[in-house]
């Protein structure tokens, strides 16, 4: 583990040797010898470290549609890398074996510093690879690793950088990273504060700000909402969510996906296909209404 440690950015010293992390809205006060809520940032002797820098729990050459991206390099592939940790605690998490643990608790990892990851991506260009996607767990808890890899990719090979993220990040670190990012798929998990608070352990407002910032940066932005019966499938909520998305940008693609029983939420069955298609139609009408309003 020590080989992967790098001093973190976006933190402040606090009394009694603690460190205040300001990477995300949780603003964790991390005591010496402890880790933040994300499990990826550790206080060692009063200094906050990016403890998952260079650590890859997963590596795969995926279709870009799997991220999912519908209108960004369709038909291409992208080298997808995951690490450990997440700053949300979604009860339905489908990647909880890496997102809800740190490296010490995981099932193994590879040390893959930025230059090695860029070399791996470059080596798969002949297989249709267009870049590197940080995905599977929450990439922004490894902010320094993403930033360093994105710089190396831009400087050496012109590979694209994509993030599949929950969007739960503070504006300052996001603004620093966005010039290096080509595409983002952001989870918009619901459109109520209650869902974010009770099911995910976060809040909605910072995610909406991340979406706005991503659009303003010129990055390609798509969104994914995992629809869970009885929790975020109310037609009025889907309509409001889609209206907000269309008002943020008419170019955003919104994916409505089925959840499957997993982690701490195994009792709820996936939404019926017909019901999901009904919600898709409701969302489409809401988007059309916004567009007509903008034109009128």
The count of other CB atoms within 10 Å of the CB of residue 33 is 10
Burial class (CB in 10 A: 0-12, 13-18, 19+), 229: middle
What is the reported pLDDT for 161? Answer: 98
CA dihedral for 150, 212, 60, 70, sign (positive or negative): negative
Q: Which two tokens stand for residue 100?
A: 């809800």
User: Quick check: 96 and 138 in contact, CB under 8 A?
Assistant: no
Looking at the DSSP bridge assignments, the partners of residue 58 are 82
Q: Which two tokens stand for residue 258?
A: 């089925």
Looking at the DSSP bridge assignments, the partners of residue 21 are 11
Domain 53-295: which topology? TIM Barrel (3.20.20)
Estimate the crossing angle of helix 114-123 against helix 143-156, to 10 degrees.
Answer: 50
**CA–CA dist 135, 203 (Å, integer):** 21
What's the pLDDT tens digit per position in 204-249? 999 999 999 999 999 999 999 999 999 999 999 999 999 999 999 9
What is the reported pLDDT for 57? Answer: 96
* Of 202, 187, 203, nearest in space to 259 by CA: 187
The DSSP line for the chain is -GGG-EE-SSEEE-GGG-EEE-SSTT--EEPTT-B-TTSSEEEETTEEEETTTTEESEEEEEEGGGTT-SSSSTT-EEEEEE-S--S---TT-TTHHHHTS-TTTSS--EE--HHHHHHHHHHTGGGTEEEEEE-SS-GGGGHHHHHHHHHHHHHHT--EEEEEE-----HHHHHHHGGG-SEEEEE---S-HHHIIIIISS-SHHHHHHHHHHHHHT-EEEEEEEE-TTTS--HHHHHHHHHHHHHH-TT-EEEEEE---BTTB-SSPPPPHHHHHHHHHHHHHHHHHHHHHHH-
User: Which residue ranges in the chain fall short of pLDDT 70?
Assistant: 1-4, 156, 294-296
Beta pairing, strands 220-227 & 183-187: parallel
User: Quick check: 286 and 225 in contact, CB under 8 A?
Assistant: no
What is the reported pLDDT for 2? Answer: 42
What is the reported pLDDT for 4? Answer: 60
End-to-end CA distance of the chain: 58
Q: In whole angstroms, how far apart are CA 269 and each of 44, 92, 227, 234?
A: 43, 11, 11, 16
What is the reported pLDDT for 187? Answer: 98
- Structural domain boundaries of the chain? 53-295
Length reported for the chain: 296
């Amino acid at each position: 583990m020590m080989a992967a440690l790098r001093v973190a950015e976006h933190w402040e010293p606090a009394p009694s040797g603690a460190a205040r992390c300001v990477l995300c809205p949780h603003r964790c006060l991390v005591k010496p010898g402890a880790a933040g809520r994300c499990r990826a940032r550790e206080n060692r002797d009063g200094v906050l470290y990016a403890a998952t820098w260079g650590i890859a729990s997963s590596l795969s050459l995926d279709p870009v549609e799997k991220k999912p991206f519908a209108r960004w390099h369709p038909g291409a592939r992208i080298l997808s890398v995951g690490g450990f940790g997440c700053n949300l605690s979604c009860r339905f998490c489908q990647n909880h074996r890496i997102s809800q643990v740190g490296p010490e608790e995981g099932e193994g990892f590879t040390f893959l510093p930025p230059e090695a990851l860029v070399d791996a991506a470059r080596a798969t260009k002949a297989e249709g690879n267009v870049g590197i996607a940080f995905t599977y767990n929450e990439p922004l808890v490894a902010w320094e690793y993403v930033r360093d890899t994105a710089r190396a990719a831009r400087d050496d090979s012109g590979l694209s950088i994509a993030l599949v993220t929950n969007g739960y990040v503070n504006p300052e670190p996001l603004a620093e990273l966005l010039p290096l990012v080509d595409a983002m798929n952001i989870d918009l998990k619901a459109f109520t504060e209650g869902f974010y608070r009770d099911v995910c352990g976060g809040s909605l407002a910072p995610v909406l700000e991340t979406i706005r910032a991503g659009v303003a940066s010129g990055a390609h932005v798509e969104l994914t909402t995992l629809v869970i019966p009885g929790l975020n499938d109310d037609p009025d909520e889907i309509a409001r969510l889609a209206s907000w998305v269309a008002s943020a940008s008419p170019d955003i693609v919104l994916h409505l996906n089925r959840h499957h029983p997993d982690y701490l939420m195994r009792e709820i069955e996936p939404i019926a296909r017909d019901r999901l298609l009904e919600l898709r139609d409701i969302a489409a009408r809401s988007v059309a209404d916004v567009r007509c309003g903008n034109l009128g």
